[in-house]
Structure 1
Amino acid sequence: MKISYQYKIEPNKEQSEKIDKTLEMLRYQYNYLLAQRFDWYEMNRCPIDRCPLICHLPELKEQPNYYNQKASLVQLKIDRPWYKDIHSQVLQEVPKKVEITFDRWLKGDVNGKKSGRPRFKSKGQYKTFTYSQFKRHHFVNNRITLSKIGDVKVIVHRPIPDGFDIKTVSVTKKADGYYVTLSLDDKTVPTIKPDFNPDNIVGIDVGLIDFYVASDNTRITAPKHLRRAERKLKSAQRKVSRRKKGSNRRKKAIQILGKQHKKVADTRKDFHFKTANNLLKKYDVVAAEKLNIKGLVKTRLAKSVNDAGWGQFISILSNKAENAGLKVIAINPNGTSQECSSCGHKVKKLLSQRMHNCPNCKVTLCRDLNASLNIKARGTHALKAQLMSL
Structure 2
Amino acid sequence: MNWFDTVEFPKDGDGCRWDSTPHDPVIRVRLQGVGHVRVHQHRPVRGRVKTVSVKREGRRWYVILSCNDVPAEPLPATGAVTGIDMGITHFLTTSQGEHQPNPRHGKRTADSLAEAQRALKAFPRRKREQRTAKHRRAVEKVAALHRKVRRRRRDHAHKTALAMVRTYDVIAHERLSIANMARAPKPRPDPETLGGFLPNGAAAKAGLNNSIHDVGWGVFLGILAHKAESAGRKLIPVDPRNTSRTCPRQLCGHASAENRPTQDKFCCAHCGYTDHADRVGALNVAIRAGLVLPDVA
TM range, normalised to the smaller chain?
Answer: 0.7 to 0.9
The two structures have a TM-score, normalised by structure 1, of 0.61
Pick one of 165, 175, 179 that aligns with 2:62.
179
Q: Which runs of 5+ in 2 are unaligned?
A: 185-204, 293-297
Q: CA offset at residue 196 of structure 1?
A: 5.3
Tell me what 1:348 maps to: 257
Pick one of 269, 273, 278 that aligns with 2:163.
278
| Partner Cα separation in structure 1 for residue 148 and residue 59 of structure 2 | 9
Tell me what 2:240 maps to: 333
Tell me what 1:223 maps to: 103
Structure 1 360/222 Cα, relative in aligned 2: closer, same or farther at 3 Å? same
| Partner Cα separation in structure 2 for residue 225 and residue 254 of structure 1 | 21
| Partner Cα separation in structure 1 for residue 97 and residue 75 of structure 2 | 28
Q: Any conservation in 2 of the 1:201–1:380 contact (CA below 8 Å)?
A: no
Bigger share in strand? 2
| Partner Cα separation in structure 1 for residue 236 and residue 148 of structure 2 | 31
The two structures have a TM-score, normalised by structure 2, of 0.79
> Are 1:128 and 2:7 matched, yes or no?
yes
Tell me what 2:138 maps to: 253
| Partner Cα separation in structure 1 for residue 121 and residue 76 of structure 2 | 57
User: Percent of aligned positions with the same letter in both sequences?
Assistant: 30
| Deviation readout 1:228-257 (Å, 9 max, x if unpaired) | 001111111122111344323212210111
- Aligned CA RMSD, in angstroms, stands at 2.4
Q: Any conservation in 1 of the 2:120–2:138 contact (CA below 8 Å)?
A: yes
Tell me what 2:37 maps to: 152
Tell me what 1:363 maps to: 273
> Are 1:374 and 2:284 matched, yes or no?
yes
| Deviation readout 1:8-64 (Å, 9 max, x if unpaired) | xxxxxxxxxxxx2xxx6xxxxxxxxxxxxxxxxxxxxxxxxxxxxxxxxxxxxxxxx
Q: CA offset at residue 266 of structure 1?
A: 0.5
Tell me what 2:215 maps to: 308
Q: Any conservation in 2 of the 1:127–1:172 contact (CA below 8 Å)?
A: yes
Q: Any conservation in 2 of the 1:354–1:367 contact (CA below 8 Å)?
A: yes
Q: CA offset at residue 158 of structure 1?
A: 2.0
Q: Any conservation in 2 of the 1:239–1:253 contact (CA below 8 Å)?
A: yes
Pick one of 151, 167, 189 that aligns with 2:50.
167
Structure 1 194/311 Cα, relative in aligned 2: closer, same or farther at 3 Å? closer
| Partner Cα separation in structure 1 for residue 86 and residue 110 of structure 2 | 23
| Partner Cα separation in structure 2 for residue 172 and residue 242 of structure 1 | 29
Q: Any conservation in 2 of the 1:127–1:174 contact (CA below 8 Å)?
A: no
The residue correspondences of 1:1-390 to structure 2 (distance < 5 A) are 20=1, 123-124=3-4, 127-134=6-13, 137-138=19-20, 140=24, 141-161=26-46, 164-186=47-69, 189=72, 193=74, 200-244=80-124, 245=126, 246-299=131-184, 300=205, 301-342=208-249, 343-349=252-258, 352-380=262-290
User: How many pairs does the alignment contain?
Assistant: 256
Structure 1 348/213 Cα, relative in aligned 2: closer, same or farther at 3 Å? same
Larger Rg: 1
Specify the code of the residue in structure 1 equivalent to 2:54: V
Q: Any conservation in 2 of the 1:211–1:221 contact (CA below 8 Å)?
A: yes
